[in-house]
Amino acid sequence: MARLSSGHGAAAGRRARLVAVAAEPEDLTPHRLRGLAGLADELEIRADLVGDPDPARLRRHFPGPLTYALRSTRQGGRSAAGPVARRTRLLRAADRYDLVDLEAMDDVQPELLAAIPARQRRISWHAPDQAGGAGAGLPAAVGSLRNRFAAMAAVPAALYLLVPQPGTQYGSAAPLLLTGLARTDVTAFASGPAGTWTRVLAPWLGAPVVFGRAGAPGADGMPDLDRLPADYGLPALPPLSGLYGIAGRAPGGSLSPRLHNAALRELRLPALYLPFQVDRFCPFWHWGAGFGSLGGLPLRGLTVTAPHKESALEVADVADPEALGCGAANLLWFDAGRWRAATTDTVAALRTLALSGADPSGRSAAVVGCGGAGRAVAWALSRAGARVTLVNRGIAHGREAAARLGLGHVPLSRFSPAGYDLLAHATPLVEREPFPVAAADRDAVVLEMAYRDPPTALTRAIRARGLRGIDGWEILSVEVREQFRLMTGHAMPQTAPLRALGSDPDGRSGTRARTASREPAPAHRTRWEAP
């Protein structure tokens, strides 16, 4: 087990300033502004999205500094104002706002600089889509970003902001730029959901501010404001010496950052758990290995979601028997100089069954779903003595998984739950029953791997029928604790229930679907979810 050393960092003892970004007219209602006043230090008005509100009215409800940003279409915004109209609006804002965003290099004009003093300027650069550094090596991209900043810094300002696109070397280089500059008047991060982790990490690397949406998150990857303290403990910046995270196609829908970071803070471990949106796992993995040497914050562990579980097993130096047996891993961690792979789906299935009083030995079991989670559950039940049948919608994939595990297979179209003592569901389907629960035996035990509030259709059907069921929240409780133990070498504290940690900061528990290390469970869109 890898144990964390006591950390240190340039950010230790500092506090980030939280900036609420108003991007919708609803963000400027008196009620919303008063709510932001209890969370944010500053308020940014995206004038290209909400127009030019009266700052005097804003200050009646929000007492902090106000920033005016008129993002142009050239830099990813919505403002198509011509040069004269743009200068007019920026000059008017300079008389009424505390900080005015000037785009490099179009707004760096003598007339504007003469009217807006350095203490009132924020010089920003948002790269156009897929611009800058694609195909270059990471060190070269860092050097290129540093040169761009040097040109921006020739104009004195209170703050400098660089936002490259994700998916390019510039996006990967953004955090490393901050490390190399060692300044406290610069922030840099990648835009888009793939860049969310760079936004969160930036304050620990010297950035003075971190931005959060005043309302619902947008496509730019900016979290909503109340997630910054709830999921990452911001604005506090405790010592940091390593990183953990979740790697998947849509990690923004995961509870893992909130659960793991709460435990890390309580145990005072110098680490941060981040969401890594990953389309291709191997390139991400090779880049992540180099991040520690350049940024001084080595990657120590990852929980991994579909479809990357097979790739996670392939990159490991050594794998636990359970992961080898099912051909997939949902956990990677650095231990004694080697990367280990494991699947915690096996532990979760067997432990929750034991807690419910269900012994798989000698029982007939059907596992619906042949992905990484389904194969892991089937492998665990088989090793525990159950007679397991795999069920899958895709016949070829189901037969392949069954042959690998030495188990029987039934296509989903021909499956009936009748006659099985144990039924396990391991697919992302949550809106309808994956099989007709009404046909299950009265004494059957049903294990639902997916979790969400409101409950999945399968969980609702189980309760209505009066069957003994294990829902995904119970699975989550076991999995996340086991993952934390393996990655950090510490037991996760028992002080805060997982369901409470997953509740909405406004007190409305269960408004989101969340996944810790398994495939995402779709849910109705809420203000927490990016479109």
Active site residues: 309
User: Are residues 273 and 261 in contact, defined by beta-carbon separation less than 8 angstroms?
Assistant: yes
Greatest alpha-carbon span in the chain: 83
301 phi, psi to nearest 5 deg: -175, 155
Identify the CA nearest to 153 among candidates 120, 188, 104.
104
Measured in degrees and rounded to the nearest 5, phi and psi for residue 447 equal -110, 120
The pair of structure tokens assigned to 493 is 């504290």
Full DSSP string of 182-205: --SSEEE---SGGGHHHHHHGGGG
Question: Is the CA virtual torsion 290, 291, 294, 296 positive or negative?
Answer: negative
Q: CB of 387 within 8 A of CB of 367?
A: no
Q: If you search the block for the tokens 């807006």, which residue do you land on?
A: 116
Q: Report the distance separating Cα 276 and Cα 492, nearest Å.
A: 22
Whose tokens are 């040109």? That residue is 151
Question: Residue 189: how many CB atoms within 10 A of its CB?
Answer: 28
Distance CA 415, CA 417 (A): 7
Query: Cis peptide leading into 497, omega within 30 of 0?
Result: no
- What residues contact 338, with CB distance under 8 A and at least 6 apart? 317, 318
Q: Is the dihedral of CA 130, 218, 70, 179 positive or negative?
A: negative
User: Which burial class, exposed, middle or buried, applies to 310 when counting CB atoms under 10 A from its CB (0-12, 13-18, 19+)?
Assistant: middle
Q: How far apart are CA 35 and CA 136, in angstroms?
A: 44
Q: 296 CB contacts (<8 Å, ≥6 apart)?
A: 179
Q: How far apart are CA 266 and CA 491, in angstroms?
A: 11
Confirm if 446 and 457 have CB atoms less than 8 A apart.
no
Q: Give the span between the Cα atoms of 75 and 49, in whole angstroms.
A: 14
Q: Is the CB of residue 26 less than 8 Å from the CB of residue 242?
A: no
